[in-house]
Structure 1
Amino acid sequence: MCGITGWVSFDRELRAEDATLHAMTGTMACRGPDDSGIWAEGPAALGHRRLAIIDLPGGRQPMTVDTPDGPVVLVYSGETYNFTELRRELTDRGHRFTTRSDTEVVLRGYLEWGEALPERLNGMYAFALWDARTDTLLLVRDRMGIKPLYYAPTDDGVLFGSEPKAVLANPLARPRVRLDGLREVFALVKTPGHAVWDGLREVEPGTVVTVDRTGVRTRVYWRLETRAHTDDRATTIATVRSLLEDIVRRQLVADVPRCTLLSGGLDSSAMTALAARQLAEQGEKVRSFAVDFAGQADHFVADELRGTPDTPFVHDVVRTAGTAHQDIVLDAQALADPGVREKVIRARDLPTGFGDMDTSLYLLFRAIREHSTVALSGESADEVFGGYLQFFDEEARTADTFPWLVRFARHFGEDAGVLRPELTRALDLPAYTADGWRTAAAAVERLDGESDLEYRMRRMSHVHLTRFVRILLDRKDRASMAVGLEVRVPFCDHRLVEYVYNTPWALKSFDGREKSLLREATADLLPRSVYDRVKSPYPSTQDPAYATALQDQVQDLLARPSHPVFDLVDRERLRRAASPGGPVRTQAARRSLERTLDLAVWLDVYRPELVLD
């Protein structure tokens, strides 16, 4: 893992811009605490911060190969899980390696295959490659968008970075956000390519962006395609198991301590059990970590989203799989700590969070980083296998909008609850999400002869895999990399995604339950309690002390009427939401307070220029 950044300016000599490049690279220090490197020559400059995972002494970057016609230089973030096979193939073709790193495999793979390289990679990656032979920059992102990458075209080239903060550190970039950017913040949708900050673009998943003297162009090398599925149930289950075995084995490769994130749900339990069995074959014991809240197990109250606490199921998996386990127990004071909130906002670059679920994720990762450098996560299994409640909700299935918004509004209320009325009208979030939905739905190809129900469920699956999952992947990447932890997501392996996406819904839910294929494919590894457990989302604290702390912090904010947050938030609406006798303990009201505090921190830290017309 790592942080990358750079600048291409065809009208400048960038060796003279050393201070700016160091500033851009310095913003990525949390992503790469182990090493730093900069390369600049002519119109190109590349910066790198390294988190050492494979070949600790040999994988320094930027990595360069000198050719008779000029150097080829790479800065790379992520992991290529099939690098061993690619290295062998490249060796057979005459390439000679000087390191054991997957970075050198990617660099020499480009020398061999050119722009056809990304199609050969299996992994999570974002990389920039400068080819001085043709004065061309390539920006490449993995198929599912696990690793982030942003770019901002300039008059004579481009700026780029793993996170917006790297680009914003360049004087050419202005920290400006227009109405469309705010719409993206508040709408809980992820428009492909949209980066919120004015002038900034996101390299879309499965895409190569090429920059040369003629301008900027893009090429899509992978997209989720509709194909016929001909395997029967038994074959499909066996194929899922075989894929998972191979994926986990590949993703356990590291030269640093590894662990798993364990919630006691089906996804993380299956992944942990597979990892535990494979490491046991090598005489190792897998470490596992879970988040919990002080007093939650004893005083848990079931609601529509969460019917059971996680901890009892976590401990059942620990006993069955034999992991070396640790619960990370957080209290209300830690969750509400303004200093932690600021760290989360700095990590995300935006106030697009999930309240205590964001702060607890950051605190969990920070605690894990004291023991491990790599963690495997069960993230994305719900999108792949159809695990969310909305997949079984008739209103969400038939709604002419993103299905998660139906359940979200039902549980949390309107997200614009405390915004100024004139801003709410200007944003017009219903129209924005409706436009986004029509575009997303139109991208789904229908299989010949597919029934209306099957097509509707295919469409649900597609928008979850191409829109919703990207919100969660970005959240996980930012929270983990903010503390120098690499989190791998086995369920995002494109082979598994392609196979299960094209499995008919009748087969995905053959027993009338969510994630039927995953449950049966890993049944022999799971304790019965987890096998039978109903889907429960990432946990949220129920401690009333947390809500009280939010009220107190908002009251302090209300005492500062000149704060720029009140250009966005209606003071009277906020006052009512935060009043001691108000409904703060409802999810909708609590979310309004969390969102306001996030906005206030973001405005203080980034001081964006807001263009609200």
Structure 2
Amino acid sequence: MCGITGWVSFDRDLTAEGPTLHAMTETMACRGPDARGTWAEGPAALGHRRLAVIDLPGGRQPMSLTVPGGAVALVYSGEAYNFTELRRELEGRGHRFTTDSDTEVVLHGYLEWGDAVAERLNGMYAFAVWDGRHDKLVMIRDRMGIKPFYYHPTPDGVLFGSEPKAVLANPLARPRVSLDGLRELFVLVKTPGHAIWDGMREVEPGTVVTVDRSGLTTRAYWRLETRPHTDDRDTTIATVRTLLDDIVRRQLVADVPRCTLLSGGLDSSVMTALAARRLAEYDEKVRSFAVDFVGQADHFVADELRGTPDTPFVHDVAGYAGTDHRDIVLDADSLADPALRDQVIRARDLPAGFGDMDTSLLLLFRAVREKSTVALSGESADEVFGGYLQFFDEEARAADTFPWLVHMGRHFGDDSDVLRPDLAKSLDLAGYAADGFRSAAARVDRLEGESDFEYRMRRMSHLHLTRFVRALLDRKDRMSMAVGLEVRVPFCDHRLVEYVYNAPWALKSFDGREKSLLREAAADVLPRSVYDRVKSPYPSTQDPRYARALQDQAKDLLSRPSHRVFDLVDRDRVRRAAEREAPVGSQWARRGLERTLDLARWLDLYTPELDLS
């Protein structure tokens, strides 16, 4: 895993722009603490920061080859889990390799197949190839959007990077945000291609973006397609298990210490148990890590979202699977530390407003990184298998908007509540979400003869896999790479996604519960407690000291009435939340304060130009 960046300028010689390329590259130091490299030739300049995972001495980048017609250079972030098979195929076609890295396989794959190499890769990746034979830059992103990839067209070329901060380090990119950028911040929907910052775009998942002297073109090489599912229940369950075994086997390959992120829920427990079984074949134990909060297991209070604490289930799985387990126990002072808030915002480049669910994730990853470099996560299983509560919520099912907005609105309120009324009116978040929903729903193909109910559930699944999970994947990548930890997401393997997406809802919930297929596919490796456990979201502290710390920080902010944040948020609402005497321990009550504090620090750290007209 790495950080990539670069610059193409057809009107100048970028070999003279070393300081700017260096500045862009160094913004990615957190993603690649092990090595740095740059490459420049004529109109192209590439930068790379490396986190060494496979072939530690041999995978240095940028990686280039001189071939007839010119140089071909690559900067690559991610992992190709089928690189061994591809390497054998390429060797059979006459290619010769000097390293054992998957990076070199991707480079030779490009030489053999051009940008069609993307269609042969199984993995998570974002990479750019400068092809000097044709004076063009080719940018490619994985099918599910696991690895981030941003670009900024310029009058004579393009800037690009793993994260916006790399692009913004170039003077040609202005840190400017308009109303559409703010809309994207306050609606929990990842609009394809949208990057918040004016002039900047994302390489969309499953897409190739090519830049040459004639301009910029895009080509989708993958999309989530509707296909008939003809397998019966037993065959479907067996196929899911076969896929999971293969996926975990592939994603355990690394030349550095590995581990799993274990929450005690079905998803992470299945992945941990399968990893443990695989490594046991080599007399090796899998490490597992879980996050917890001081006193939470003993004083947990159930609510509508979380009916049980995670820790007892985590320990059941760790004991059942025989993992080398460690709980990362966090206190309220650490979670509320303003310095940690700054680190979260710098990691994400955005004021996400997820509060302790972001700070705890960063602290968890930091502790994990002390022992391991690669971690397997259960992320995206809820989207793939239908695990969220909104999949069983009749109002959310029937709504002409994104279903998670209906369900989450009941628990967290409206994000626009914190905004100044005049700004909220200008943003029209409901209208923005409605427009996005219509655009997203129009991309869902219906099977001939599919019932209205099955089509509605297919649409829900498609929306989660193309608009919801991408926000969570971006969060997971940014927070883990902020500490140099590579997090892999087995449930995002495109083969599994395609197969389960096309299974009808009647199969996905054949026993009336969430994620029926996943539960049965891995029943033999799970303790009964986890097999029977109801879905529980990522944990959040219930410690009232955390809420009081937020109130104190908000009062300090209120003492600075000229702060730019009050151009965005309603000062009176912030004051009422900061002074309220009742506990603000619930997420719904805390969210406005967390949003406000995040916005304030983002404005301080990034000093964006805001166009509110």
How would you bin the TM-score normalised by the shorter chain?
over 0.9
Query: What is the Cα deviation at residue 418 of structure 1?
Result: 1.9
Task: Give the TM-score, by structure 1 length.
Answer: 1.00
**1:47-126 alignment to 2 at 5 Å?**
47-126=47-126
The answer for unaligned runs of 5 or more in structure 2 is: none
**Cα displacement string for residues 54-108 of structure 1 (whole angstroms, at most 9, x for unaligned residues):** 0000000000111121110000000000000000000011100000000000000
Conserved 8 A contact 1:564-1:603: yes
**Cα displacement string for residues 451-494 of structure 1 (whole angstroms, at most 9, x for unaligned residues):** 01100000000000000000000000000000000000000000
* Distance (whole Å) between structure 2 residues aligned to residue 418 and residue 495 of structure 1: 41
What residue number does 1:443 align with?
A: 443
What residue number does 1:453 align with?
A: 453
Give aligned pairs, total. Answer: 613
Does 2:309 match 1:309?
yes
Amino acid corresponding to residue 492 of structure 1 in structure 2: C
Query: What is the Cα deviation at residue 580 of structure 1?
Result: 3.8
What residue number does 1:415 align with?
A: 415
Amino acid corresponding to residue 449 of structure 1 in structure 2: G
Conserved 8 A contact 2:544-2:583: no
What residue number does 1:210 align with?
A: 210
**Cα displacement string for residues 307-329 of structure 1 (whole angstroms, at most 9, x for unaligned residues):** 00000000000110000000000
What residue number does 2:573 align with?
A: 573
What residue number does 2:37 align with?
A: 37
What residue number does 2:519 align with?
A: 519
What residue number does 1:539 align with?
A: 539
- Partner of 2:180, secondary structure, is helix
- Partner of 2:289, secondary structure, is strand
Conserved 8 A contact 2:353-2:591: no
What residue number does 2:548 align with?
A: 548
Amino acid corresponding to residue 401 of structure 2 in structure 1: T
Does 2:260 match 1:260?
yes
Percent sequence identity is: 81
* Distance (whole Å) between structure 1 residues aligned to residue 181 and residue 589 of structure 2: 24
What residue number does 1:363 align with?
A: 363
Query: What is the Cα deviation at residue 585 of structure 1?
Result: 3.1
Structure 1 segments (4+ residues) deviating >3 Å: none
Conserved 8 A contact 1:414-1:588: no
Amino acid corresponding to residue 455 of structure 2 in structure 1: Y
Conserved 8 A contact 2:542-2:586: no
* Distance (whole Å) between structure 1 residues aligned to residue 454 and residue 588 of structure 2: 33
**Cα displacement string for residues 240-272 of structure 1 (whole angstroms, at most 9, x for unaligned residues):** 000000000000000000000000000000000
Query: What is the Cα deviation at residue 353 of structure 1?
Result: 3.5
**1:227-266 alignment to 2 at 5 Å?**
227-266=227-266
What residue number does 1:146 align with?
A: 146
Conserved 8 A contact 2:152-2:201: yes
Conserved 8 A contact 1:403-1:460: yes
* Distance (whole Å) between structure 2 residues aligned to residue 67 and residue 253 of structure 1: 31
Query: What is the Cα deviation at residue 355 of structure 1?
Result: 1.1
What residue number does 1:324 align with?
A: 324
Query: What is the Cα deviation at residue 583 of structure 1?
Result: 6.0
Amino acid corresponding to residue 328 of structure 2 in structure 1: I
What residue number does 2:471 align with?
A: 471
Conserved 8 A contact 1:291-1:328: yes
Query: What is the Cα deviation at residue 8 of structure 1?
Result: 0.1
* Distance (whole Å) between structure 2 residues aligned to residue 430 and residue 7 of structure 1: 37
Query: What is the Cα deviation at residue 417 of structure 1?
Result: 1.3
* Distance (whole Å) between structure 1 residues aligned to residue 18 and residue 125 of structure 2: 26
What residue number does 1:20 align with?
A: 20
* Distance (whole Å) between structure 1 residues aligned to residue 583 and residue 440 of structure 2: 36
Amino acid corresponding to residue 59 of structure 1 in structure 2: G
Conserved 8 A contact 1:578-1:584: no
Amino acid corresponding to residue 185 of structure 2 in structure 1: V
- Partner of 1:383, secondary structure, is helix
Conserved 8 A contact 1:576-1:582: no
- Partner of 1:55, secondary structure, is coil
Amino acid corresponding to residue 266 of structure 1 in structure 2: L
**1:589-604 alignment to 2 at 5 Å?**
589-604=589-604
- Partner of 2:119, secondary structure, is helix
* Distance (whole Å) between structure 1 residues aligned to residue 585 and residue 334 of structure 2: 18
What residue number does 1:158 align with?
A: 158
Does 2:429 match 1:429?
yes
Amino acid corresponding to residue 340 of structure 2 in structure 1: V
- Partner of 2:439, secondary structure, is helix
* Distance (whole Å) between structure 1 residues aligned to residue 15 and residue 316 of structure 2: 58
* Distance (whole Å) between structure 1 residues aligned to residue 555 and residue 518 of structure 2: 47
Does 2:266 match 1:271?
no
What residue number does 1:184 align with?
A: 184
Conserved 8 A contact 1:143-1:494: yes
**Cα displacement string for residues 8-41 of structure 1 (whole angstroms, at most 9, x for unaligned residues):** 0000000110000000000000000000000001
**Cα displacement string for residues 363-407 of structure 1 (whole angstroms, at most 9, x for unaligned residues):** 000000000000000000000000000000000000110000011
**Cα displacement string for residues 164-215 of structure 1 (whole angstroms, at most 9, x for unaligned residues):** 0000000000000000000000011110000000000000000000000000
Amino acid corresponding to residue 289 of structure 2 in structure 1: F
Does 2:339 match 1:339?
yes
Conserved 8 A contact 2:185-2:196: yes
* Distance (whole Å) between structure 2 residues aligned to residue 515 and residue 354 of structure 1: 26
The answer for unaligned runs of 5 or more in structure 1 is: none
Amino acid corresponding to residue 323 of structure 1 in structure 2: T
Query: What is the Cα deviation at residue 587 of structure 1?
Result: 2.6
What residue number does 2:508 align with?
A: 508
Query: What is the Cα deviation at residue 588 of structure 1?
Result: 2.3
- Partner of 1:61, secondary structure, is coil
- Partner of 1:416, secondary structure, is helix
Query: What is the Cα deviation at residue 116 of structure 1?
Result: 1.1
Amino acid corresponding to residue 282 of structure 1 in structure 2: Y
Conserved 8 A contact 2:34-2:52: yes
What residue number does 2:607 align with?
A: 607
- Partner of 1:433, secondary structure, is helix
Conserved 8 A contact 1:179-1:612: yes
* Distance (whole Å) between structure 1 residues aligned to residue 391 and residue 572 of structure 2: 38
- Partner of 1:284, secondary structure, is coil
- Partner of 2:73, secondary structure, is strand
* Distance (whole Å) between structure 1 residues aligned to residue 144 and residue 43 of structure 2: 31
* Distance (whole Å) between structure 1 residues aligned to residue 410 and residue 122 of structure 2: 39
Which one is further off, 348-357 or 189-198?
348-357
Query: What is the Cα deviation at residue 582 of structure 1?
Result: 5.1
* Distance (whole Å) between structure 1 residues aligned to residue 49 and residue 436 of structure 2: 35
Amino acid corresponding to residue 476 of structure 1 in structure 2: K
- Partner of 2:496, secondary structure, is helix
Query: What is the Cα deviation at residue 414 of structure 1?
Result: 1.1
